[in-house]
Amino acid sequence: FKRLDILRPGLLRGKRDNDLRVLEGLGRLASPVVDLFLQGGAAKARSIPAATVARACLSLAKRKASGRFVHDNDAIRRAAGELGELAA
């Protein structure tokens, strides 16, 4: 591969059908409050909407630069924001 993008999101938020993972569900419910306390290096563990990660994937797939890239939550959010700019 000429390009490899590794996305490292925090807890994924969003609707899930038939999800039996009770503790993860509780984590999703508590995430808006917990996210407020995740500062500095811990901010990379903040929750993020699954739709934002999907938009970032589409945006990153359009990039031409070759290499290996690792994207944390902040980079994922920036890439998702670029999708609108690329479509315009």
Q: Count how many Cα atoms sit within 13 Å of the Cα of residue 47 in the half-sphere of its side chain.
A: 19
pTM over 0.85: no
At 26, is the secondary structure helix, strand, or coil? helix
Q: Residue 35's pLDDT is what?
A: 80
- 27, 11 in Cβ contact below 8 A? yes
Q: 14 with 49: CB under 8 angstroms?
A: yes
Q: Is the pLDDT of residue 86 over 70?
A: no
Tell me which H or E stretch contains 28. Answer: helix 22-37
pLDDT of residue 85: 59
In this prediction, residue 88 carries a pLDDT of 44
Better-scored residue on pLDDT, 29 or 86:
29
Per residue in 24-77, pLDDT (tens digit) is 777 777 788 888 788 888 788 788 998 999 999 999 999 999 999 999 999 999
Using only C-alpha atoms, the chain has a radius of gyration, in whole angstroms, of: 15
Q: Where are the domains of the chain?
A: 3-87
8, 72 Cβ separation under 8 angstroms: yes
